[in-house]
Amino acid sequence: MGSGNAIRGSRVGAGPMGEAERGEAAPRVRVPFWCANMHETRPSFASDAAVPEFWDCPRCGLPAGQDQANPPAPPRNEPYKTHLAYVKERRSDKDGAQILAEALERLRSSSRPIY
């Protein structure tokens, strides 16, 4: 694996066998991917490149797979988590405001002259 990466990395320039102009001559394949929302995306890969199992949907960001009938499940935690975090944030904001108000009230009353 490590050596494979090294070879790939050194390929950026001219290849050892005088490969033809980069990109242009390399045959490409378009591989369709579908996400859970049935968005289809067809990134193209060099025909000798390893096609990844999953591809991020450019439209909604969910992982997309090559099996249209069985797209990868969306990471369930994410949307809920962010939503919950948002709600929590708002709630704690409210709490914070209340705590602040109480503290101010206490401060005010304590700084009030005592009769």
| Interaction site with Zn ion (CB under 5 A) | 35, 37, 39, 57, 59-60
Q: Which amino acid appears at position 48 of this protein?
A: D
Residue 45 is inside which H or E element, if any? strand 44-46
Q: Which is nearer to Zn ion, 39 or 45 (CB)?
A: 39
Helix (H, G, I), strand (E, B) or coil at 109: helix
**CB 74 → Zn ion: shortest distance, Å?**
9
Which CB sits closer to Zn ion, 26 or 41?
Answer: 41
Is 60 a known ligand-binding residue? Answer: yes
C-beta closer to Zn ion: residue 37 or 47: 37
Cα–Cα distance, 4 to 1 (Å, whole number):
5
In angstroms, give the least distance from the CB of 31 to Zn ion. 16
Q: Is 58 annotated in some ligand binding site?
A: no
Positions of E strands within 31-90: 33-35, 40-41, 44-46, 54-56, 63-65
47 has binding-site annotation: no
